[in-house]
Amino acid sequence: MIELLAPAGNLETLETALYFGADAVYMAGKQYGLRAFADNFTEDGLRRAVQVTHAQGKKLYITVNSVLWNRDLTELAPYLRYLAEIGVDAVIATDPAVLQLISKFRIPLSIHISTQANTTNYLSASFWHERGASRIVLSREVSLAEIAEMRQKVPGDLELEAFVHGSMCIAHSGRCLLSSVLTGRSGNRGACAQPCRWEYYLYEKGYEGQYFPVMEDNQGTYIMNSRDLMMIEHIPELAEAGITSFKIEGRMKSAYYVASVVHAYRRAIDKYESDPQGYRFDKSLKDELVKSASRGFTTGFYFGNPHQEGQDTQRTVDPRAYTFTGKVISVPRSGVLEVEQRNKFSIGETLEVLSPYFENASFTVQFIYDMNGTEQESAPHPQQHVRINCPYALRPGDLLRRQDERGRL
């Protein structure tokens, strides 16, 4: 069975990932993770997250993968003990100190080696396995052929996990000093400012203000800006290479983004597993991913070094084709939804449904009432609860979105 592994930066995103079909979710506590600007989880929040996840028979992994200094070690063992106590299924680690403490104090935690460890060969993978790791999160720079060779040469009980979708780092599996040098915020401590996404100009010293073209853009260029990874068209190749966990990047992303991506990959994986020999890719799944995207896509290094094809030197983001307008909170009666507004929508607009239970469903908004029963022409207030018409029997957790101008091009 292929595991679909989704990111969560907060409880809403966790619940959304599970609702839309993730088998497991990875997240961080307030320390030791590599997404310092995600909401992340307090200790009580982690306990609650474990309960929510296990109640659905799914798994929860916690990132403990930042670069560790002497000052970080004092609280590390107690933190690992706490994660074991609340039932976390595994920790995702980079630093050998994590493995050493788990072994020394016999802390009952499974260990997944983070992609930050840059595991690119079977001997390195076996090295980590001998020291207690049950899974390797492979370096993003390895190809499918290299993964297949690793699968053949590592112990059979060592699982291989790989990213299949999301942002790509220009540094080798995230080992970058650029943010630290330019902003004082270290990417290896979870605080990356993403300077690789910034727009740059080139000028000669002594001739300030006289800019020269960089690459092909004479207005300035995004010379280090990577396209996002997307491998949904290659589910069979990923599975046949021996990858057992398909990982989605995005602990800083919204619940809407996570819902869209998990929904698409869940459908693709289920279709493949139901009939591997007769599997045919459904193009509508790629279309679904484009709806939540703001960058172009690449297959990364899976089929070799992408060179220029992996970069978008013209821009950092595109306007989105769809806007997330609301989340279904309840269904007070047939034909009526209680919706939590996320972006403004109005009477007369057509909203599209994003749900594990409905495909290609849309409807026109005919009325909007606030919770006191007052009719409104629109829902303009952030997170306002309103009641609207809907011809479908939607469920709490389903999402609504509106097609915007780019989506109609």
**Contact status, residue 79 vs residue 73, Cβ threshold 8 Å:** no
For the segment 322-365, what is each residue's pLDDT rounded down to a tens digit? Answer: 999 999 999 999 999 999 999 999 999 999 999 999 999 999 99
Q: What are phi and psi of 130, to 5 degrees?
A: -65, -20
Architecture per CATH, domain 3-173+225-310, reads as Alpha-Beta Barrel (3.20)
Question: Which two three-digit tokens encode residue 37?
Answer: 């600007």
For domain 322-408, give its CATH number from 1.10.10.10, 3.90.1150.10, 3.40.50.720, 2.40.30.10. 2.40.30.10
Q: Indicate the pTM of the whole model.
A: 0.85
First to last CA, the chain: 39
Return the number of other C-beta atoms located less than 10 Å from residue 315's C-beta.
15
**Burial state string for 144-158 with b = 16 or more CB within 10 A and e = fewer than 16:** bebbbbbbeebeeeb
What's the CA gap between 15 and 397, in Å, rounded?
8
- Distance of alpha carbon 117 from alpha carbon 369, whole angstroms: 53
Asked if 3-173+225-310 and 322-408 have one fold, the answer is no
For residue 226, give the DSSP letter. B
- CA–CA–CA angle 360, 365, 368 (5° rounding): 140
Domain residue spans in the chain?
Answer: 3-173+225-310, 322-408
Ranges under pLDDT 70 in the chain: 33-39, 169-225, 294, 306-320, 405-409
State the pLDDT at residue 212: 55
pLDDT in tens, 63-104: 998 889 899 999 999 999 999 999 999 999 999 999 999 999
